[in-house]
Chains A and B, each alone.
Chain A
Amino acid sequence: MQGNKVIGEAAIRTGCRFYAGYPITPQNELPEYMAESMCQVKGGVFIQSESEIAAIHMVAGASAAGARAMTSSSSPGISLKQEGISSMAACELPGVIVNMMRGGPGLGNISPAQGDYFQATRGGGHGDYRTIVLAPASGQELADLTMDAFDLADEYRMPVMILADGMMGQMMEPVVFKEPKPRQYRERYVLKGAGAGKSRFIRGLILDPRAMEEHNWKLARKYEVIAQKETRHEAFNTEDAQLIVTAYGTAARIAKGAIKRLHDAGLKVGLFRPITLWPFPSRELQEISERTDNFLVFELSTGQMIEDVHLALCGRGYVNFYGRPGGVVPTPVELAHVIARQYSKKDRHHE
């Protein structure tokens, strides 16, 4: 099944009943799939909105009314949505945002790239907030993480982003959909219309600085819990590795291909793949740095995740970088050459 459609199917299976979006390559198959599938499920709503900004605010509205809601776009469209995402974070509204990154900045191109790492992991919009960022690296993970994204969004009442690119969106792989968990959320905030109970309201505008400060700290405490509890990563061949490649998403797939080649040639190279980009699996990377001190960060950008690697390692080890921004996707053989160079350099460090 094609990556973009996997996300759509997983979302519907896990109870997403509201989707709003505006077309942009390379994620168009997702709204296409939603347009077809939403009308086949009870209570499903699909809206092709007039703009990206409208779409994210529709999602916020549906979320406030208690629906599992999702929107998707690609880099420039995600920039437009930031105001809405910030607002959802402030109002503590759950929701899932899919970003199928393209080469940038500006309109860029439609090829696979990873230049939106900073935007995704540092909040993206204005204000003191975070979004959980999940980075799938296979068709199967697109399915699993989409389902998890809705659960995390409900559990912490915040927007969750799925960060992938055109390669993940276009590639087809066999997928098995897991059984979705029953939805668990605290219904207290949901706006369902005036009944006999107390009136409720949701707002992001808090004029009293003390109240605003308290709200900011409340969000910060929530983010602290997430940073403690929700990190995920994959470690591949890291036990006796002399060099660790750190990469996520599409880049990690290429790295894995390169590492398998090098393994056959007798080089001990491992892969550390963050699955949650925020919270970044810093502790897990630190643990690995106790066994090996040679790191190569590989990204389809000019170097963004490398900052989190530096923060996690606190100056320990040698950290080098290989980046291919703008939509150029190197082959595993090309990357294997780069890794092999770095691998042999390390021996010189020790002499």
Chain B
Amino acid sequence: MLVKTIFCGFGGQGVLMMGHSLAHGAMMEGYQVTYLPAYGAEVRGGTANCTVAVGDEEIASPIASEPNYLVVMNTPSLYTFQNRVAPGGSLFLNSSIIEARPSRKDVDVYEIPCIEIAEKMGNPRAANVVMMGAFLKKTALVSPEVYLKSLETIMGSKKKMIADANRAAFAAGYELLKEYMENGCQANLGTIR
């Protein structure tokens, strides 16, 4: 098994944190992992992306030619990366701010209004964790408990409040996708308002 994911969006949206936490979680699950942040002379508000490879044997290349999963947090990244996704792969879309929809018909699209959900919970900064909840419900690369523990390790947060907020945000994303999957629909699910 070898699964590659690209996370992309604006700098400041927690794109690298999403990849980092997934890689850490998968490592704790006993997988081989690589985490490769795209490295440029980036600034806040610029674009950021990272690639995570998870496998059960040595990972040859940390670069993803055809990622199985793509998590898109802003519109420019959708145009940049949508063609890279492997046929039959999944695309997770931050539908709170992305109005465009992918032109690909051979990938599953999950529209997650992650910013709105996070805002509703009073913690808009946790939008990326909402997205991770949805992502991990679908991909099951890391169990929720292990993931949340990894997130706490990485954040190094001693504040219980932040950990709890992340926990709630994760659960919201997780439940949303569960609902999507149970109702058997994928694309054009509309946004929760």
Q: Are B39 and A26 in contact (CB under 8 A)?
A: yes
Q: Which of A15-23, A286-294, A331-339 contacts B (4 or more CB under 8 A)?
A: A331-339
Contacts of B62 in A (CB 8 A): 167, 171, 173, 253
**Option from B23, B32, B35, B61 in Cβ contact (under 8 Å) with A256:** B61
CB < 8 Å A-B pair total: 59
B167 within 8 A of A: no
B11 within 8 A of A: no
Given A171-B34, A174-B27, A174-B33, A332:B39 Cβ within 8 A:
no
Q: Are A257 and B34 in contact (CB under 8 A)?
A: no
Minimum CB–CB distance for A111 against chain B, Å: 7
Q: Which of B63-71, B110-118, B125-133 contacts A (4 or more CB under 8 A)?
A: B63-71
Given A110-B41, A174-B27, A260-B60, A333:B65 Cβ within 8 A:
yes
Q: Are B35 and A173 in contact (CB under 8 A)?
A: yes
Minimum CB–CB distance for B182 against chain A, Å: 35
B37 within 8 A of A: yes
Minimum CB–CB distance for A297 against chain B, Å: 18
Contacts of B39 in A (CB 8 A): 26, 110-111, 166-167, 170
Q: Are B65 and A172 in contact (CB under 8 A)?
A: no
Interface size of B as a range: 10 to 19
Minimum CB–CB distance for B47 against chain A, Å: 15
Contacts of B27 in A (CB 8 A): 174
B184 within 8 A of A: no
Contacts of A97 in B (CB 8 A): none
Minimum CB–CB distance for B10 against chain A, Å: 19
- The closest CB in chain A to the CB of B24 belongs to A172
B137 within 8 A of A: no
A91 within 8 A of B: no
Q: Are B33 and A329 in contact (CB under 8 A)?
A: no
Interface string of B18-43 (1 = CB under 8 A from A): 00100100010000111111011100
Q: Are A170 and B63 in contact (CB under 8 A)?
A: no
Minimum CB–CB distance for A6 against chain B, Å: 13
Minimum CB–CB distance for B149 against chain A, Å: 16
Q: State in angstroms the CA–CA spacing of A172 and B17 once bound together.
A: 12
A113 within 8 A of B: no
- The closest CB in chain B to the CB of A109 belongs to B41
Q: State in angstroms the CA–CA spacing of A172 and B64 once bound together.
A: 15
**Option from B40, B41, B63 in Cβ contact (under 8 Å) with A331:** B63
Contacts of A111 in B (CB 8 A): 39-40
Given A172-B35, A173-B35, A332:B60 Cβ within 8 A:
yes
**Which A residues between 150 and 181 are near B, CB-CB below 8 angstroms?**
166-167, 170-174
Q: State in angstroms the CA–CA spacing of A110 and B40 once bound together.
A: 7
Minimum CB–CB distance for B61 against chain A, Å: 3
A34 within 8 A of B: no
Q: Are A333 and B66 in contact (CB under 8 A)?
A: yes
A309 within 8 A of B: no
Q: Are B63 and A329 in contact (CB under 8 A)?
A: yes
Q: State in angstroms the CA–CA spacing of A110 and B42 once bound together.
A: 11
Given A257-B61, A331-B65, A332-B61, A170:B36 Cβ within 8 A:
yes
Q: Are B33 and A253 in contact (CB under 8 A)?
A: no
Q: Are B36 and A257 in contact (CB under 8 A)?
A: no
A300 within 8 A of B: no
Minimum CB–CB distance for A169 against chain B, Å: 8
Minimum CB–CB distance for A335 against chain B, Å: 9
A58 within 8 A of B: no
Q: Are B35 and A259 in contact (CB under 8 A)?
A: no
Q: State in angstroms the CA–CA spacing of A251 and B37 once bound together.
A: 17
Q: Are A258 and B41 in contact (CB under 8 A)?
A: no
Listed residue (B32, B35, B41) with the most chain A CB atoms within 10 angstroms of its CB: B35
A101 within 8 A of B: no
Minimum CB–CB distance for B6 against chain A, Å: 11
Q: Are B63 and A172 in contact (CB under 8 A)?
A: no
Q: Are B33 and A331 in contact (CB under 8 A)?
A: no
29 pairs, A vs B, C-beta closer than 8 Å = A25-B41, A110-B39, A110-B40, A111-B39, A111-B40, A166-B39, A171-B34, A171-B35, A172-B34, A172-B36, A173-B33, A174-B27, A174-B32, A174-B33, A253-B60, A253-B61, A253-B62, A254-B63, A256-B61, A257-B60, A257-B61, A257-B63, A260-B60, A331-B61, A331-B65, A332-B61, A332-B65, A333-B65, A333-B66
List 6 additional A-B contacts (Cβ < 8 Å) besides A111-B39, A332-B60.
A111-B40, A172-B33, A173-B62, A174-B33, A253-B60, A331-B61
| Top 10 A-B pairs, shortest CB-CB distance | A257-B61, A333-B65, A331-B65, A256-B60, A172-B35, A257-B60, A332-B61, A171-B36, A170-B39, A174-B27
